């Protein structure tokens, strides 16, 4: 996410790119990071920014081409982000989870709080609500996809 993807006046962020690590065919490095379009159209989306978050972002705003996490003209190495996240969890005496687990926790919390599933599905960039809440058969009650991490939420 780059600063140019955020409109603080309208309080929205636009997801229109993703970072991928690909193998290099030629060159000295084995892999490289590339900025590309998301895999699906539903992954391209606009997400509202809560007022309190817009205020926080306003204090840290950088040039449009700078990336939010790195603050530089190039993205942060995903492994570096995971290492820093792991250190924060360890220092806070929290369970060790992957950074992506935050997305699952958000989804689970929204479901548990009664959030509209269609809207949640769109915010997450899912192509259908079945991705957000799979229903194994018609005799079961739908539950959030990632209830296995709900212990983190309630601990």
- Count of beta carbons in the 10 Å neighbourhood of residue 25: 5
Check whether 135 has a pLDDT greater than 90. Answer: no
Mean pLDDT, residues 26-54 taken together: 88
Please tell me the pTM assigned to this model. Answer: 0.70
Tell me the percentage of the chain whose pLDDT exceeds 70. 86
Mean pLDDT, residues 19-23 taken together: 86
Classify burial at 11, counting beta carbons within 10 Å of its beta carbon; exposed 0-12, middle 13-18, buried 19 or more.
middle
Query: What pLDDT sits at residue 138?
Result: 44
- How far, in Å, CA of 67 to CA of 22, rounded? 20
Kindly report, residue by residue over 56-108, the tens digit of the pLDDT. 999 988 888 888 888 888 888 888 889 999 999 999 999 999 888 888 888 88
Residue that has been written with the tokens 């060159």 in this structure = 27
- How far, in Å, CA of 103 to CA of 105, rounded? 5
Phi, psi of 80 (to 5 degrees): -65, -45
């Amino acid at each position: 996410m780059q600063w140019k993807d955020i409109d603080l006046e309208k309080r929205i962020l636009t997801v229109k790119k993703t970072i991928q690590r690909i193998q290099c065919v030629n060159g000295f490095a084995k892999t490289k990071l590339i900025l590309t379009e998301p895999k699906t159209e539903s992954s391209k989306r606009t997400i509202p920014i809560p007022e309190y978050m817009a205020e926080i972002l306003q204090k840290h705003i950088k040039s449009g081409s700078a990336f939010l996490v790195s603050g530089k003209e190039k993205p942060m190495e995903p492994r570096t982000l995971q290492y820093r996240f792991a250190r924060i969890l360890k220092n806070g005496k929290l369970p060790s989870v992957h950074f992506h687990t935050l997305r699952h926790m958000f989804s689970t919390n929204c479901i548990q709080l009664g959030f509209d599933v269609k809207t949640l599905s769109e915010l997450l960039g899912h192509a259908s609500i079945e991705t957000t809440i799979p229903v194994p058969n018609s005799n079961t009650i739908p539950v959030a996809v990632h209830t296995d991490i709900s212990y983190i939420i309630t601990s």
